[in-house]
Each structure stands twice: as C-alpha cells, then as structure tokens.
Amino acid sequence: MFSNHSDFDPIFHCIKQHAALSDADGNFPTDEFKEIRQSELLSFPIKRSSMTFNSDNLINNLNLLKSLGRASLPVGRIFEGHMNALQLVNIYGTASQKKRWFEEVTSGQKLFGVWNTQDQDGVFAHERADGNFLLKGSKTFCSGGDQIQRPLITAELKSPSIKGWQMCIIPTEKVAAIKQDKSFWQPLGMRASASFRMDFTGIIISKEDFLGAPNDYYKQPHFSSGAIRFCSVQLGGAEAVLEETHHLLKSISRTEDPFQKSRIAEMSFLVETGNLWISQTAHKLESGQYGSEHIIAYINMARCMIEEICLRCMTLSERSVGARGLLRPGNLERIHRDLITYLRQPAPDASLVSIGDFVFKQPDTRKLWAVQMVSKLP
Ligand SMILES: Cc1cc2nc3c(=O)[nH]c(=O)nc-3n(C[C@H](O)[C@H](O)[C@H](O)COP(=O)(O)OP(=O)(O)OC[C@H]3O[C@@H](n4cnc5c(N)ncnc54)[C@H](O)[C@@H]3O)c2cc1C
C-alpha cells in the first residue's frame, strides 16, 4: 500500500501509456483500472485506521484527481465518481453502512460511481408490499457502465409513507442485471469513460441499500462543493495540454520564437492560476470558517475559472503546434476532444448567476472573499 501521492507516479505513467489504446467507442479503460486495483489506489480516499473517508487532507485527494486527469481524462472521470460516492457514504451512511461499503473497497476492490443524470424516463423506486422497492426507469451518462460494482443512483420514491429523491447503492451482483445501452454514448471525446445509458427497470432493492434520507443528495454546501473534484480532473487535462505542447515544440526546435515563448508562458501561468484556485478552495472548505453561501459562490468561481483556463490553454496550444500537431496518433488530438467534452458539466449558466447573486447580496465589495467568522459547517 502506498502512502504518498508521488508513490503513484509509475501508475500515472502507465495510465497515460494506455490512454490512446482505450480511446474507442463503447470501451472501458480495463487495463488502467487493473493497475489502479493492483496498487490499491481505489482505497486511497479511505482512512483505514478509522474506516472513514479521508477528508483530513482534501488537497491530497484533489491532487490525485488532477494527476489521474493529466494521465487520462476518462480514467479521472470514473475515479472522480468513485471518490464522490465514498464521500457521500461518509456524510450520510450509518455506522454499519460505512463499515460495509468501505470494506467493500479496502478488501473487495469494488468500484463505486454516482449516477444522477436522467432524461424523461428517469428512475422511480416503487415500494412493494414486502417493504422492498422495485426500480423502474433509466439513467444517462453513467460513467463506467457495467464495470461499476456499486453504482450510487438517485430515484424518486413512490411510497405511501416516504417521498423525495432517494440515494441508493445497488449491490450489482445480488440483483438482476442492469441493462446497458452503449449506443447512447457516441461522443466527440471521453469515449473511454463508458458513460452509457443504464436501465434499472425490474431491479429490486431493500431499505438497507438506501443511503441517507430522501433529498439528502441535494443538501448544500456538499452538493455544489463537489464541483471542485471535477475541476481538479479538468485542470489535469490542461496540464496535459501544456506538457504535450512543451514536448512537441522542443522536439521540433521551435522554442526560440518570441510568439511561442509568450504562448507557453501564458499557458504556464494559467495552469498555475488553476492550481491556486484549487488549493485556495480546498483551504476554505477545510477551514470551516465560511458560510455555505460563501463556499458555494467561491466554488462556482473556481469552476468558471478552471473552464476558462482549460479553453484558453487549448486555444494557445492549437496556435502553437498548428494543424500537424493536432494529427493522430499525436496525444493532443485526443486530449482536446476529451477536455472539450468533459468541460460540459451541469448548469454552467446557473453557477455563474449564483456568484452574481451572492455578490449583490453583500452590502459592499470591500471584504467580499475575506474570512467570515461564522459557525462551522456541519
Ligand atoms: C464525460 C461525461 C461523463 C459524465 N458522467 C456522469 C456520471 O457518471 N453521472 C452523472 O450523473 N452524470 C454524468 N455526466 C453528466 C453531467 O454531470 C451533466 O449532467 C451533463 O454533462 C450536462 O449535459 P449538458 O451539457 O447536455 O447539459 P444541459 O443541462 O443541457 O446544459 C447545456 C446548456 O443549457 C443551459 N441550460 C440548462 N438548463 C437550461 C434551461 N432550463 N433553460 C435554458 N438553458 C438551460 C446550461 O446552462 C448549458 O449552457 C457526465 C457528463 C460527461 C460529459
């Protein structure tokens, strides 16, 4: 078992080597997750001494996501879902559920994921006479597809006694097979994220599989603060664009030109700006000194900034390497497609508007993002 993040460098290298081979419609990054399992990386977010989610050092978790994203955005995406699920278990699980699900990772190497997105035919959980629940409906964008052994899904309850949006963790080997529709996922990029449509119709689960109370999933600030995880993976993508551009320009001796110097300079300070946003956001989250609205607005700012940083880095890279630098089998062509696709995350307009809302609610802007001494977050 590795203890330091840098101990994983050979695994990141190996994932990077596999990324081009995995880039195909309908594919899952099997070899990459074999490596991840062998190195027990799936357990990295769990503190074994207490069998809790390791939230002591948030920046370590975020750096791990960034390194995975730099090696392969699809792998980073799938791992981010795993980490998200474990964090939700930590926040909302009972003591016995935490023990069960964390042990399934530490001893059983189970891969978790979070599938919330759905179309019109979304998932309902109908209560049956025996107290169990029958699922009907589908989820879309289910990263990892049938390679996820513990999908955490949300479902609307249909029961005379309880109502709301319920998180459930499906023990896939104990229930009927979840029907997988690969034809849903024919994207521009992120092909290997295997983000298929999954149909849960006919699956029966028990209340033991429920996580938390109805509507816990959308509780703030936890719901919005999760964006910092996908920002970290995305920033890993921008780092990969910088790295590939640097490598290519050096390999063709185009480093003395002042335009190339200024573009690589801008890419470098943009990536570093992204790192500062991630670490400052992590610091704010860990400090417990900021109210929920402040935290949500700040994370939304980080999200907007990381998106702009990634887009700008891609533009600068395109101008630097030219058309031939974007040819297959060069890595930049794939990383561009993956990053463009992965930057599309839920409600971008709403997250920008929420920052404006927060700013206008303040009496003035003098201490806008300064320390606010409020009671600690739950
Ligand atoms: C690679 C990848 C993997 C993913 N994996 C998962 C996963 O494992 N689990 C999961 O749950 N989800 C997953 N998702 C889905 C993701 O979380 C988002 O839900 C999805 O990317 C948003 O899709 P969209 O861009 O089409 O969004 P939309 O919500 O359709 O947004 C598109 C645009 O429309 C705007 N808009 C939104 N609503 C309105 C409105 N009512 N009126 C006017 N404009 C509006 C938005 O601000 C945005 O500008 C994944 C997505 C990607 C790309």
Kindly report the number of other CB atoms within 10 A of residue 124's CB atom. 16
Cross-strand bridge partners of residue 152: 114, 169
The two structure tokens encoding residue 80: 């981010």
Identify whether 221 is preceded by a cis peptide bond (ω within 30 of 0): yes
Cα–Cα dist 87/54, whole Å = 9
- Give helix then strand counts, H and E, for the chain: 11, 12
* d(CA 233, ligand 1 centre) in Å: 17
Class of domain 115-216: mainly beta
Using most ligand atoms within 8 A of CB, pick from 84, 88, 143 the residue to mutate for ligand 1: 143
DSSP label at residue 139 = E
Cα–Cα dist 145/167, whole Å = 18
Kindly report the number of other CB atoms within 10 A of residue 279's CB atom. 14
Cross-strand bridge partners of residue 153: 115, 168
What residue ranges in 196-338 does DSSP mark as E strands?
A: 196-199, 204-205, 210-211
CB of residue 115 inside a 6 A radius of ligand 1: yes
* d(CA 159, ligand 1 centre) in Å: 29
CB of residue 117 inside a 6 A radius of ligand 1: yes
> What residue's CA is closest to ligand 1, atom 21?
345
> What residue's CA is closest to ligand 1, atom 44?
349
CB proximity list for 274: less than 8 A, separation 6 or greater: 231, 235, 238, 305, 306, 309, 310
Using most ligand atoms within 8 A of CB, pick from 75, 116, 117 the residue to mutate for ligand 1: 117
pLDDT of residue 1: 40
pLDDT of residue 370: 84
Using most ligand atoms within 8 A of CB, pick from 73, 349, 353 the residue to mutate for ligand 1: 349
pLDDT of residue 375: 52
Class of domain 222-361: mainly alpha
Q: Which fold has domain 5-111?
A: Butyryl-Coa Dehydrogenase, subunit A; domain 1 (1.10.540)
Work out whether strand 150-158 and strand 124-127 pair parallel, antiparallel, or are unpaired.
parallel
Q: Say if CB 8 and CB 67 are below 8 A apart.
A: yes
Residue whose structure tokens are 């990263």: 143
CB of residue 190 inside a 6 A radius of ligand 1: yes
Q: 3-state DSSP: the chain helix, strand, coil percent, rounded to 5?
A: 55, 10, 30
Of 239, 257, 369, give the one whose Cα is nearest residue 317: 239
Cα–Cα dist 34/49, whole Å = 25
Whether the domain at 115-216 and the domain at 222-361 fall into the same CATH topology: no
pLDDT in single tens digits along all 378 residues of the chain: 445 666 799 999 999 999 999 999 999 999 999 999 999 999 999 998 888 888 778 999 999 999 999 999 999 999 999 999 999 999 999 999 999 999 999 999 999 999 999 999 999 999 999 999 999 999 999 999 999 999 999 999 999 999 999 999 999 999 999 999 999 999 999 999 999 999 999 999 999 999 999 999 999 999 999 999 999 999 999 999 999 999 999 999 999 999 999 999 999 999 999 999 999 999 999 998 999 999 999 999 999 999 999 999 999 999 999 999 999 999 999 999 999 999 999 999 999 999 999 999 999 999 899 865 555 555
What are the domain boundaries of the chain?
Answer: 5-111, 115-216, 222-361
Residue 123 φ then ψ, to 5° = -90, 135
Identify whether 329 is preceded by a cis peptide bond (ω within 30 of 0): yes
CB proximity list for 354: less than 8 A, separation 6 or greater: 296, 297, 300
- Among left, alpha and beta (phi > 0; psi -120 to 50; other), residue 269 is alpha
The two structure tokens encoding residue 275: 């790192």
> What residue's CA is closest to ligand 1, atom 25?
344
Of 196, 192, 230, give the one whose Cα is nearest residue 335: 192
The two structure tokens encoding residue 53: 């989610």
Measure CA 237 to chain center. Answer: 13
